[in-house]
Structure 1
Amino acid sequence: MMRWLRSSLPARAGLAVILIAVLALASSLSAGLIAWFSQGDAAAINTAGSVRMETYHLSWKLAAGATGEEILAITDSLQTRLNSQSLKAVLEDGPTTALQISYGQIQQQWNEDLRPALERGDAAYFQAQALSFVEQLNHFVDLLQRQSEQKQGWQQVIQGLALFTTMIVLLLGLYELQYGVVTPLKELVDATQRFRRGDFKVRVNHQSQDELGQLAMSFNAMAETIEDSHRTLESQVQQKTLNLQQANAALELLYQSSRSLATRLANAEGLDELIRRFQQRLPGLRLSLCLQGQLHAPAQQLLALHGANIREVCASSDCATCQKHHKASPQTFSISNQGSELGELKAHFVDGHPTQAWETQLIQALANLIGTSLSLKRQREQDHRLLLLDERTIIARELHDSLAQALSYMKLQVSRLQTLMRRGEPIETLENVTAELREGLNNAYRQLRELLTTFRLQIHDAGLVQELKDTAEEFSRRGECQVHLHVDALAFQLSASEQIHILQITREALSNCLRHAHAQNAWLQLRQDGETVRLIVEDDGRGFSGNVDQREHHGLKIMDERARSLRGQLEIVSREPQGTRVQLEFQPEFLGQKTEGSVT
């Protein structure tokens, strides 16, 4: 029972209310009972007082000499009052009480002394006994009053005890309310407010077996669980943030490395530096890059890079016993591009933990970047070989079409001169042949100088527009022809090969203006018309004629070959009212369209 009361706050409150109600009911019942028991006391006192008055009345009648009938009537009235029920009602407690004894003495004196005296008519005796009778009545009334006062005292004591007990219960209830309800609730509210402000370490110190104690225990358990969850969440957030920072640093490195590898060829030193920096972005990561050489014929020996300026050349059979990954089973990533295997990248962490998904994706991105850079290096080398072969072919063709023909012509002239000398031809004839040889040598020397100038030509960092400006100024200074330049800004960048071909065709056309057209003005234009780039070189010279010696116009064939290399169209027509118009149209490689060129 006590354990149940200690563990239940409503039970204690209900018990206090029941106690107060019981005390109030007991006080009311006691007051009612006492009032019910005391309801005949006043009537008995009045009756006793009336008996006393009747005694005085008889004494006065006797002294006044009243008639017997009057004395008898008063005597009967006194006897009736003395035997009334109101007096007997207060005598039911028992025969041994003082009130019962006093009443018995009054009855005895009345029946033995006063009533016989009245019947004898002995007034003197009656009056003599009347005083003691009245004293007996006064004593009886005094006992009645004491009895009534005693009952009222009991009622006051009962009510006082009930009130005192009620106050004790109330005080105990207030104490329990203050320290068992108000204080814990206040502490709980304060704890919840602090908890809501982010103080997850707050706890409720109230300890009891009742509902508030259980609530405090539940709050503490909940706070501890939330604090643990918050601590775990903070740890996870910090770990995720660290992972994101590392991933961001690795992605930034991959981005910077891709830009760097796009501008320069990949080599062992650059790849080793890339691996070293990538390992710094992911602490604890160890990488080994194994390159197998040729695409279609893998080498028997592999080149291994570990990102620490350590370069090893080992056999493919040594991978199983590699000391760089002997403590953990490495994860292997293929280095490939467009289905061609170039090598593999091995990765593991020094603490032995398996790679997470985001780490695997980053390492795979690094492997793809290395594969792309190696493939790009080989593609650039292949393009460089093709360009070199193309340039050598052009050089050979230009040497054949210019200097070789001039030397062949001079060889024929030398043979002619020898024949004429054997025949004994006159000196004048020999001098003519010698003059033709001298002119052929001069032409060959001039063509050689032009070829050397052409072969040394290159595009500087300023770009094609600046080279066209420099070319226009150069040809304006070399002769009497003034070159006028107009160049449109292109929406895209021409390739290096396209820029070289445009510049060569421009120089050849301007050279023809100076040597053959004898023009005073030349107009050089480079424009963009939709997806077509158009180069126009015009002059106001003597115009183009088909009867010109082809040995002096081998540059037309060179321009033709360059136009075909651009997969464009070269058109050479007369200009109205005079002069020549050279026009080249082609679609750049940047736009991805390739069309066969033609020469008109």
Structure 2
Amino acid sequence: MKPALFASWQKLSTRIVGLLLSFLAVALLVIGSTLLLSWQLEGSAAAINVAGSLRMESYKLAMLAGRATDGADHANAVERLRAQVRRIDGTLDLLEKGDPQRPLFLPPTAAIRDVYAGVQQEWRTALVPPVRALMTPEPSPAGASYAVQQLTERFVLRVDHLVQRIERDSERRTFWLRASQLTLLALALIGTISIIYLLFDMIVAPVTRLQGGLERMREKDFGVRLPVESNDEFGMLAHGFNQMADKLQDSYANLEQRVYLKTSELEQQNRELALLYDSASFLQQPQSAEAMCEGFLQRISEYFGADGGSVRVLDPNRNNVHMLVHQGMSEKLVESERCLKVGDCLCGEAVVSKLAVIHDLRRHQDSHNLQCHREGFSTISIFHIFAQRQYLGFFNLHFRKTVGFTAAQTALLETLGQLLGTAIENQRLQVRERELAISEERNLVAQGLHDSIAQGLNFLNLQVQMLEQSLKQQRFDEVESIVPMLRAGVDESYQDVRELLHNFRTRLQEGTLVSSLETVVDKFRRQSGIAVDFEADGDGAPFPREHQLQLLFIVQEALSNVRKHAAAGRVTIHLADRQDFTLSIRDNGQGFDMGRLETLGESHVGINIMRERAQRIEAQLHLKSAAGEGTEVVLHLPRAQRRAA
């Protein structure tokens, strides 16, 4: 408990409060004693007045005693004498008991109490009995009143002695009252001076020292220190100021070095970002895989100062790793490592673990058996190529001196490996997408050929067979009828071939979908001679070019069917392009039975081609037709499936 109390006393707030409370206690004590002395002086002054009145009352008693010996009006004099005795008794009792409210009391000293006891005894034993003797029904002799007067003189002398005692005591108490007041004044002066000094010593001086230290520190004098002269708050503040000065001095001394280190770190980060940006921009360009990997390898080799390197891709079917590009490596080393089995050599082992590895060949046990070490390389690093967690291969960096990689450099190379893997995978996906598009387009071409050329050639084949039989049988009348049919079949096939070639060569012109459709419609008018009404109403978002091309193909196929089968004189095309897209192609031809169309199924290639093209853009294709009422093809693309360019 003692150390805790001592520590608590060391606090500035505790010391200030303790000082003020001590000063307050002393001031209250002095003020209390002054008030007590004043109260006692007031009581003594009242006691002097009351005691002084005893002398007058005693002389009055002596005068009444003289009248009691006179025969005239004796009874009245006796009654007044009795009243005077009671009055004096009451005054003596008042002096003995006192009256705190006036205040009135005898000073509490033994000498005054003894004198008062003598006065009271003189009254009761010496003066009261003779006076009572005069209170008889008959007048007393004149000598009796003279005796009372003599005793009254003695009693008055004792009362005078009591008053003098009280006055001397009051003089002494008045002296102490003045002394207390002077003491209070001295305490006020001394306390004020002491408080000013202590506050200056405990508060003003430490604050001034602290302010001076701050001014010196503002002038970059970081060697300034404050003396710790106490354990209070200012001592703690001075200690904290010194600690702050130590740290600032150390920081300022090492500021240039830290700025240099930070600048170096920022430059390194900027170089890394520049490498990442340059690599990502380069890998996004359309190019072959070899050119892409060669440019990638050149960039990282220049950045890390590598003396050689290679990029290798994995063949998961044969479990081989093939070298795609290389630099800084001899032909002998390239030939020996052009195709590695997974698990062979250091690079093949890294494929199994799929972890980045840096080999120091000087510390490797079998380094003399490695061709790369025999060619002078000391460090071989292996970093892997990933794309969406799919392992594609790895790339090497070869160094002729021992090189180590930091965690940041390793992370940078792993990120670059992911960029390269994503570029390689995107290139493969683009190749597959082109192959799929070519396959789908070839399928549509085959369907178009089957729907037009194949059927026409089949018709011509039948006519040729019939012509051959008629010639053998020498039925020349049938020959004359077959030859025009052959000529018409050849012309139809020729027109189909031209139309197919035209459709296959169709390209989107610069402009909107409406302008491209107007070009197709104008060409159809010139070639077929059929009137076409084209209406376009729309301000919807533009379609991707692939979707626009599919829409052109659908319109061309529908117009081709009109030319071949409808025997129509007019075609109406209406395009409504809002949030939803609707395209309708209606003719006034002969139409057909929809029920019969359902029985044909997949054999009607033209309609199936239009439906497949509509499915590619997630649109819905509907046919409406009846015998003798024409045909309408309606293409509808809801807003939910619509994609903007």
TM score, norm. by length of structure 1: 0.53
**1:383 is matched with which residue: 421, 433, 438?**
433
Rounded to whole Å, the distance in 2 between the matches of 1:360 and 1:318 is 18
CA gap 1:385/1:523 in 2 versus in 1, 3 angstroms: same
Rounded to whole Å, the distance in 1 between the matches of 2:607 and 2:316 is 43
Structure index of larger Rg: 1
**Structure 1 stretches of 5 or more lacking a match?**
1-183, 196-201, 207-216, 593-600
CA gap 1:584/1:218 in 2 versus in 1, 3 angstroms: closer
Rounded to whole Å, the distance in 1 between the matches of 2:470 and 2:572 is 46
CA gap 1:353/1:218 in 2 versus in 1, 3 angstroms: same
Asked whether the 8 Å contact 2:447–2:605 carries over to 1, the reply is no
Rounded to whole Å, the distance in 2 between the matches of 1:466 and 1:294 is 49
1:544 aligns with 2:591: yes
Rounded to whole Å, the distance in 2 between the matches of 1:398 and 1:218 is 90
Match of 1:573, SS?
strand
1:214 alignment counterpart? none
In the TM superposition, residue 505 of structure 1 has moved relative to its aligned partner by 1.1
1:127 alignment counterpart? none
1:225 alignment counterpart? 250
What letter matches 2:311 in structure 1?
C
Asked whether the 8 Å contact 2:280–2:419 carries over to 1, the reply is no
In the TM superposition, residue 328 of structure 1 has moved relative to its aligned partner by 2.8
Rounded to whole Å, the distance in 1 between the matches of 2:426 and 2:224 is 71
After TM superposition, list the pairs within 5 Å mapping 1:179-258 onto structure 2: 191-195=216-220, 224-257=249-282
1:80 alignment counterpart? none
2:175 alignment counterpart? none
1:269 aligns with 2:291: yes
What letter matches 1:536 in structure 2?
S
What letter matches 2:261 in structure 1?
Q
In the TM superposition, residue 433 of structure 1 has moved relative to its aligned partner by 0.8
In the TM superposition, residue 321 of structure 1 has moved relative to its aligned partner by 4.4
1:290 alignment counterpart? 311
2:505 alignment counterpart? 456
**2:454 is matched with which residue: 404, 409, 422?**
404
1:435 aligns with 2:484: yes
Rounded to whole Å, the distance in 2 between the matches of 1:577 and 1:433 is 30
What letter matches 1:235 in structure 2?
Y
Rounded to whole Å, the distance in 2 between the matches of 1:307 and 1:535 is 62
After TM superposition, list the pairs within 5 Å mapping 1:115-514 onto structure 2: 191-195=216-220, 224-257=249-282, 260-261=284-285, 264-278=286-300, 282=303, 284=305, 288-299=309-320, 301-306=322-327, 314-315=337-338, 316=340, 317=345, 319=347, 321-322=371-372, 326-330=377-381, 332-347=382-397, 352-357=403-408, 359-426=409-476, 428-459=477-508, 464=513, 466-478=515-527, 479-486=529-536, 488=538, 491=541, 493-494=543-544, 496=546, 498-514=547-563
Question: Which range is displaced more, 515-524 or 407-416?
Answer: 515-524
Match of 2:254, SS?
helix
Rounded to whole Å, the distance in 1 between the matches of 2:617 and 2:438 is 16
Rounded to whole Å, the distance in 2 between the matches of 1:494 and 1:186 is 74
Match of 2:219, SS?
helix
CA gap 1:494/1:543 in 2 versus in 1, 3 angstroms: farther
Asked whether the 8 Å contact 1:286–1:348 carries over to 2, the reply is yes
Rounded to whole Å, the distance in 2 between the matches of 1:528 and 1:278 is 51
How high is the sequence identity, in percent, across the aligned residues?
22
Question: Which range is displaced more, 382-391 or 289-298?
Answer: 289-298
**Structure 2 stretches of 5 or more lacking a match?**
1-208, 226-241, 348-369
In the TM superposition, residue 582 of structure 1 has moved relative to its aligned partner by 0.7
Asked whether the 8 Å contact 1:402–1:554 carries over to 2, the reply is no
Asked whether the 8 Å contact 1:571–1:582 carries over to 2, the reply is yes
Rounded to whole Å, the distance in 2 between the matches of 1:274 and 1:461 is 37
Rounded to whole Å, the distance in 1 between the matches of 2:218 and 2:434 is 75
1:73 alignment counterpart? none
2:621 alignment counterpart? 570
Rounded to whole Å, the distance in 1 between the matches of 2:578 and 2:612 is 22
C-alpha distance after superposition, 1:502-548 (max 9, x if no partner) = 22111122334455353445224263655xx5432234x33523499
2:181 alignment counterpart? none
Rounded to whole Å, the distance in 1 between the matches of 2:561 and 2:488 is 19
Equivalenced residues, count: 386
Asked whether the 8 Å contact 1:304–1:312 carries over to 2, the reply is no
Asked whether the 8 Å contact 1:410–1:437 carries over to 2, the reply is yes
What letter matches 2:379 in structure 1?
A
